[in-house]
Amino acid sequence: MESPRSTRGLFIFGPMKKKERVEFIIQTLEKLYPNPAIPLDHKDAYTMLISVLLSAQCTDKRVNLVTPFLFEKADTPKKMVKLDVKDIEDIIRPCGLSPAKSKAIHRLSEILLEKHQGEVPNTYEDLEHLPGVGHKTASVIMAQVFEVPAFPVDTHIHRLMQRWKLTNGKNVEQTEHDAKRLFPEELWNKLHLQIIYFGREYCPARRHDENTCPICSKI
């Protein structure tokens, strides 16, 4: 006989419906991570933008080890453009893809000075026109810097949305669309961080135990 589960005080038997899964996920993540911190160290919009750019195919932990050395030399667009691309590349090499990332950092810093008075723009259009800045990076900046509702989808969120059967997982664009459709807009910015932390701690890509996972074991 199946054990009853409780959703909003109601005991229900059988598999959770999608709406019930969403509610359970929200409640569980809120209990585990009521105040999720932004995992990338930064002090303003510019250093956050550079940190997010560096995090492509690199761990946040490694980015946080590298950025103090970079920002000691250049923590503003004006200072960054004074560095040679090779100097930037040498510093950020541990983050991977350093030739492309260093060129993007240098050129986007020039563009910020040329077109945006040295400030990071607060629109998707302007952000996505910057070298090295795609939709996911722009979404992170919009959400975590400018507090505009967004749902950036990284590998953790893409994996968990599939695992929780909340998306067909064809691509990150579809996953983002489904996440925005299923979760309340006022929770997007917080949920984005909560799911990332949950994926790292409880729901990894490898050696994942569904029987002990606080969400997968219940839904």
Catalytic residues: 136, 154
- Tokens in use for 149? 């509702």
Q: What DSSP character marks residue 186?
A: G
> How far apart are the C-alpha atoms of 217 and 190, rounded to whole Å?
23
Cβ neighbours for 8, distance < 8 A, ≥ 6 positions apart: 23
Q: Integer distance in angstroms from the first to the last C-alpha of the chain?
A: 17
Which 3 state secondary structure label does DSSP give 69?
helix
> How far apart are the C-alpha atoms of 66 and 76, rounded to whole Å?
16
- Tell me how crowded residue 107 is: count the other CB atoms within 10 A of its CB: 15
